[in-house]
C-alpha cells in the first residue's frame, strides 16, 4: 500500500497507481474496527455515498465489503454530494460515514472522507494515523468484493431537501437571478431539485455530473471555472454568481459584475449577519483571514476565534466553543445547525437572506472590507522547509509574531503568514499590505529569503 495516500484529514490518491480496490477494502475494514472500538459497538451503522468519478462505484463495492467483513450495518445513499453524506450521518444518528470522493482534485484521483458520529472529522480523534497503521496490518482479500447494504438514496435526498426548504422560510429566493457553475460535479442534481421547489431564477453551466470533468477541473477556485461563469454573466444581468466544487462542499461567489469574491470577505459578510442576529458575537475562521475583514467584524463587536488551517480545525473549535458559524479561506462555510459542517446550498440560501435584508448589491456589501492588497496564497517547493521557517522567524524577530499555524508576523501596514502545507510538500505564504507598492516590495523581500 502506498502510504502517501493518508493525508492530514482524509485518504486521497491517484486511482490504481496509488489507490486501488484492495486498498479501499483494507482501509474501510480498518475504519470499521476503529469505529467499533471507539463506540463499543458490535455492529455500527455507517453511511456510504460516492461521487461521479469513474472509479467511485468500484471503490463503493470494496468499501461495503470491508464494512460488512466487520459486521457493520452499511446504508447506501448512492451518488451524492459530501454535504448530503454529512446530512445523512447526523440526521440518521449514524456511528460513522464514508464519502468516496477526491473533492476538488483532478479526474485521475479518488479517495475517502471518513467521519464519526455527528460528522466529527476522523482527524479529531487522531484516527487517520491509527487507520493507516491498522491498514498495513489488515488482511487483504481477493477481487470478489461482496458486502451487504441497505439502499436509502431516495430517503436521503428528500429529507435533505426538506431541511433546506425549512431553512429558506421567510427568504424570497425567487427575487434573485443567479448564475451557477456546478463543475460537472455532484451538486448539480441537488441544486436543480432545490431550485425547482423554491423557484430560484438561475442560469447554469456544467450542471450534469460527469466524472471526466470535461470543462475544467472540479475546483471552485479554478481559473477556467471563473472565466466560464464570467462569460455567462456577461450575457445577461445577474445578482451574483456561484461556482461549486466537485463534491459540493466548497463554493466561490462572484459579484453582479462577474468578479470573484475572496472567501474571507464572504466569511466576514456571513459572520457579521448571523452572529449579530443570534446575539452570540463570536465566529471561527482560519488564521489567514484579511486584516480588512478583522477590522470590519471588530467594528460590529464580533470576536474572531482563529484556528489552524484545515476544515477539521475550524469545526473542532466551533464544536468546543458552541459557536454558530465558521469559515475557511478555501471556501468551506460551517453551520452549527448543520452539525458544525458545511452545506453549500444552506450557505447559498443564507447569502440570499442577507441580500434580501440589506437591499444592496453584493459589491456594496463587501466594499467596507476591501482596505488592503492581498497576495493570495503563494506556494514554494523548497528542500529545507523547517530551515526556511526558522530563517523567517529570525529575520522578523522584532515584530509581533504568533505561531498558531506556522509563523504570522504583524506589522503596522502589512503582515504575512508562512506555514507548511498539511497535504502537500510546500511552504505556503500569504502577504497583505495597505498599498499595492508595499505589497509588491514585501512579496519580493520574502521570496528572496525563501528561495535563497
Contact between 449 and 391 under an 8 Å Cβ cutoff? The reply is: yes
Q: Which residues pair with 286 in a beta bridge?
A: 307
Residues identified as active-site: 103
- How far apart CA 440 and CA 423 sit, in angstroms, is 28
Domain positions in the chain are 3-157, 168-254, 263-369, 373-451
Element (H, E) at 276: helix 263-278
Is residue 322 classed as helix, strand or coil in its secondary structure? Answer: coil
Query: In CATH, which superfamily holds the domain spanning 263-369?
Result: Alpha-D-Glucose-1,6-Bisphosphate, subunit A, domain 3 (3.40.120.10)
- Report whether pLDDT(422) > 70: no
**pLDDT tens-digit series, residues 11-37:** 999 999 999 999 999 999 999 999 999
Q: How far is CA 350 from CA 317, 326, 340, 362, in A?
A: 22, 13, 15, 13
- Residue 437 makes CB contacts below 8 A (sequence gap 6+) with none
**pLDDT tens-digit series, residues 171-182:** 999 999 999 999
Is residue 289 classed as helix, strand or coil in its secondary structure? Answer: coil
One fold for both 3-157 and 168-254? yes
Query: What cell numbers appear for 62 in the block?
Result: 470494496
Query: In CATH, which superfamily holds the domain spanning 373-451?
Result: Alpha-D-phosphohexomutase, C-terminal domain (3.30.310.50)
- Report whether pLDDT(290) > 70: yes
**pLDDT tens-digit series, residues 152-209:** 999 999 999 999 999 999 999 999 999 999 999 999 999 999 999 999 999 999 999 9
Q: How far is CA 271 from CA 158, 323, 325, 348, in A?
A: 29, 11, 6, 14
DSSP letter for 55, please: T
Contact between 254 and 260 under an 8 Å Cβ cutoff? The reply is: yes
Please give the model's pTM, rounded to 2 decimal places.
0.95
- Report whether pLDDT(429) > 70: yes
Element (H, E) at 416: strand 414-420
Q: In whole angstroms, how large is the CA radius of gyration of the chain?
A: 22
Is residue 358 classed as helix, strand or coil in its secondary structure? Answer: helix
User: In 3D, which of 317, 219, 246 has the Cα closest to residue 82?
Assistant: 246
**pLDDT tens-digit series, residues 219-244:** 999 999 999 999 999 999 999 999 99
- Domain 3-157 CATH class label: alpha beta
**Position 385 confidence tier, pLDDT thresholds 50, 70, 90:** confident
3-state DSSP percent of the chain in helix, strand and coil, to 5: 40, 25, 35
- How far apart CA 326 and CA 365 sit, in angstroms, is 19
Contact between 450 and 35 under an 8 Å Cβ cutoff? The reply is: no
**pLDDT tens-digit series, residues 256-281:** 999 999 999 999 999 999 987 777 88
- Domain 168-254 CATH class label: alpha beta
Amino acid at each position: 500500500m502506498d502510504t502517501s495516500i493518508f493525508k492530514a484529514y482524509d485518504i486521497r490518491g491517484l486511482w490504481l497507481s496509488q489507490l486501488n480496490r484492495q486498498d479501499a477494502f483494507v482501509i474501510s475494514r480498518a475504519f470499521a474496527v476503529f469505529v467499533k472500538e471507539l463506540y463499543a459497538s458490535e455492529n455500527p451503522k455507517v453511511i456510504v455515498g460516492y461521487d461521479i468519478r469513474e472509479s467511485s462505484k468500484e471503490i463503493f463495492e470494496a468499501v461495503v465489503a470491508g464494512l460488512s467483513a466487520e459486521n457493520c450495518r452499511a446504508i447506501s445513499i448512492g451518488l451524492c454530494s459530501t454535504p448530503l453524506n454529512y446530512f445523512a450521518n447526523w440526521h440518521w444518528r449514524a456511528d460513522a460515514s464514508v464519502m468516496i470522493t477526491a473533492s476538488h482534485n483532478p479526474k485521475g484521483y479518488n479517495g475517502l472522507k471518513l467521519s464519526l458520529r455527528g460528522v466529527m472529522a476522523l482527524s479529531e480523534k487522531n484516527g487517520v494515523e491509527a487507520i493507516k497503521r491498522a491498514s498495513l496490518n489488515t488482511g487483504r482479500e481477493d477481487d470478489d468484493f461482496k458486502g451487504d447494504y441497505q439502499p436509502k438514496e431516495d430517503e436521503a435526498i428528500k429529507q435533505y431537501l426538506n431541511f433546506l426548504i425549512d431553512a429558506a422560510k421567510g427568504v424570497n429566493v425567487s427575487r434573485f437571478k443567479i448564475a451557477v457553475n456546478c463543475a460537472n460535479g455532484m451538486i448539480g442534481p441537488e441544486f436543480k431539485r432545490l431550485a425547482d421547489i423554491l423557484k430560484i431564477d438561475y442560469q447554469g453551466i456544467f450542471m450534469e455530473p460527469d466524472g471526466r470533468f470535461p470543462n475544467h477541473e472540479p475546483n471552485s477556485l479554478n481559473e477556467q471555472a471563473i472565466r466560464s461563469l464570467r462569460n455567462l454573466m456577461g450575457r445577461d444581468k445577474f445578482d451574483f454568481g456561484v461556482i461549486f466544487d466537485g463534491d459540493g462542499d466548497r463554493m466561490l461567489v462572484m459579484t453582479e459584475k462577474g468578479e470573484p469574491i475572496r472567501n474571507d470577505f464572504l466569511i466576514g459578510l456571513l459572520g457579521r449577519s448571523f452572529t449579530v442576529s443570534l446575539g452570540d458575537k463570536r465566529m471561527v475562521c482560519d488564521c489567514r483571514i484579511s486584516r480588512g475583514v478583522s477590522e470590519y467584524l471588530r467594528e460590529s463587536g464580533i470576536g474572531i476565534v482563529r484556528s489552524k488551517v484545515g476544515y477539521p480545525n475550524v469545526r473542532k473549535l466551533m464544536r468546543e466553543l458552541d459557536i454558530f458559524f465558521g469559515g475557511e479561506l478555501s471556501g468551506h462555510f460551517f453551520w452549527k445547525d448543520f452539525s458544525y459542517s458545511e452545506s453549500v446550498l444552506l450557505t447559498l440560501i443564507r447569502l440570499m437572506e442577507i441580500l434580501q435584508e440589506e437591499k444592496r448589491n453584493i459589491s456594496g456589501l463587501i466594499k467596507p472590507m476591501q482596505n488592503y492588497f492581498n497576495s493570495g496564497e503563494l506556494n514554494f517547493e523548497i528542500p529545507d522547509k523547517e530551515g526556511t521557517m526558522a530563517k523567517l522567524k529570525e529575520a522578523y524577530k522584532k515584530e509581533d509574531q504568533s505561531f498558531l499555524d506556522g509563523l504570522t508576523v504583524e506589522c503596522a501596514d502589512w503582515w504575512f503568514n508562512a506555514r507548511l502545507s498539511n497535504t502537500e510538500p510546500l511552504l505556503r505564504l500569504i502577504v497583505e499590505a495597505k498599498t499595492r507598492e508595499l505589497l509588491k516590495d514585501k512579496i519580493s523581500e520574502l521570496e528572496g529569503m525563501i528561495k535563497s
